Structure 1
């Protein structure tokens, strides 16, 4: 972990935030695909957080399959947050 998150402390914070954000979105995709109980507090919290984090990408594409729609609506923001977070952390680390 020290190697991946080592270096500039600001860059480290940005990387950790980007990774946690993507993890929340990916967790919701897994919970949805495996039909997790949404009455469970943890599942409900992850769903609410994922909805908030991915609000800008909902219904960006017209997809008939509920499973694929969920993967795209939550997976796209996960990838975007990772790419932007890691790019910004890289720039911060060089300065």
Structure 2
């Protein structure tokens, strides 16, 4: 292991980046489940949908496209991109210190 990653700040940056990636995966998974009409009665689908709603509560109804799929892709996709951008920006900043 490189001495760079023994520093607590660098480890914090890694944790932030991984958390941002996980959040983006959950949001992306919900977008795919919605696009492919996943069974809403399935407990995995319900769990992913609940998590995605909570994570993207600020953006999932932000757009008013006529097509439901477009609202889902735009709203949840925006949240995923923001989490990735902000999370990795914070992680890079932590890695520099």
Matched with 1:64 is 66
Unaligned runs of 5+ in 1: none
Which of 9, 21, 24 is equivalent to 2:23?
21
Structure 2 unaligned segments of length 5 or more: list them. Answer: none
Give deviations 1:51-77, integer Å, cap 9, x for gaps: 000000132222111010100110000
Match of 1:50 among 44, 49, 52: 52
Q: Which runs of 4+ in 1 moved over 2 A?
A: none
- 1:57 aligned counterpart, secondary structure: coil
Aligned partners of 1:49, 1:14: CA distance in 2, in Å? 18
Q: Normalising to structure 1: TM-score of the pair?
A: 0.91
Q: What is the rounded CA distance, in whole Å, between the counterparts of 2:45 and 2:80 in structure 1?
A: 18
| TM value normalised by structure 2 | 0.89
Cα RMSD over matched residues? Answer: 1.5
| C-alpha distance in 1 between matches for 2:78 and 2:72 | 10
1:27 & 1:59 partners in 2: Cα distance? Answer: 18
Name the counterpart of 1:39.
Answer: 41
